[in-house]
Amino acid sequence: MESEHEQTSPKNGVVGPKGFVSLVGAGPGDPELLTLKAYNRLQTAEVVLYDRLVSNEILAFISAHAQRFYVGKAASKHSVPQEGINQALVTWAKQGKRVVRLKGGDPFIFGRGGEELEALVAEHISVEVIPGITAASGCAAYAGIPLTHRDHAQSVRFITGHLQQIESELDWDALARPGQTLVFYMGLGSVETMSRELIAHGLPAETPVALIEQGTTNQHRTHIGTLATLPDAFLADQIKPPTLVVVGSVVSLHAKLAWFDRLSAKASGFHTGKHALLDKRS
């Protein structure tokens, strides 16, 4: 018998319909930064599980026939546990659905896409990964800050850390080396620690820093300062998440290269939804 188009469940040997999961990067916000491949999957999806940092304009591309589930953080700060998301992806796929797991930015950059892929592969589910423009690329481009530049930085590092532990978690000696750009995927709460540690480990206090707020959307703001001045300046500015911090001499280029006019931006902002797998819409 031809079994090419059928899927054999590894557990019970029962031949079932062929489900498929796409782990899709939605990019940083601007809907036009979505890949064509991502767009096509949203159009043909039967089930979509999406995160907090997916802009409303991108959600509008999802097929009207798809079931959608918000699995990001709710106002109450709860999010669906990762294990629950993994399980849901596996279950829908085993029911033969075309499933899209839609994430902000790129699924493999601080997006837990690796963990989801592991869970799916372990269950022998057919999968694909569709990369997205990560926040560092999108926000820096729209802020007029080239992440590398022959006169400024020969390497770039993407960094994240937990609010409580970044002081001990990160290798500050390595981060404070010259000739590189640092991009911190982290909230405002960590900015003070970051500045203090980088100065303590040898970066000049006048190193330029940009904090990019809601990058690529019509709420996009680029705040510029230095390691020494920035934390205070931010506190005064009523900044809303998500925010990305760029540290290094490339930031000085913003003054002449800023080009983006947020009033012409096509993304209004991010979904700040209600929880979860239970919150069923169609």
Omega before 208 within 30 of 0, i.e. cis:
no
Determine the number of helices (DSSP H) and then strands (DSSP E) in the chain. 10, 13
- Binding ligand SAH by CB under 6 A: which of 214, 222, 254, 273? 214
Distance CA 244, CA 183 (A): 7
Q: CA angle, corner 242, sides to 129 and 162, nearest 5?
A: 80
- Binding ligand SAH by CB under 6 A: which of 47, 185, 239, 265? 185
3-state secondary structure of 1: coil
Q: Which of 37, 73, 237, 266 is catalytic?
A: 73
Q: Which two tokens stand for residue 275?
A: 């929880």
Distance CA 68, CA 94 (A): 17
CB of 225 to ligand SAH, least distance (A): 16
Q: Which of 51, 94, 97, 103 is catalytic?
A: 51
- Binding ligand SAH by CB under 6 A: which of 215, 225, 248, 273? 215
Distance CA 79, CA 87 (A): 15
CB of 222 to ligand SAH, least distance (A): 10
31 binds ligand SAH (CB under 6 A): no
* 7 or 214: CB nearest ligand SAH: 214
* 160 or 226: CB nearest ligand SAH: 160
* Window of 131-139, 162-170, 228-236, 272-280 that interacts with ligand SAH by CB under 6 A: 131-139
Q: Is 11 known to be catalytic? A: no
- Binding ligand SAH by CB under 6 A: which of 28, 208, 248, 273? 28
Give Cα separations from 108 to 41, 112, 117 (angstroms): 18, 7, 10
Q: Is 51 known to be catalytic? A: yes
Give catalytic residues, as residue numbers: 51, 73
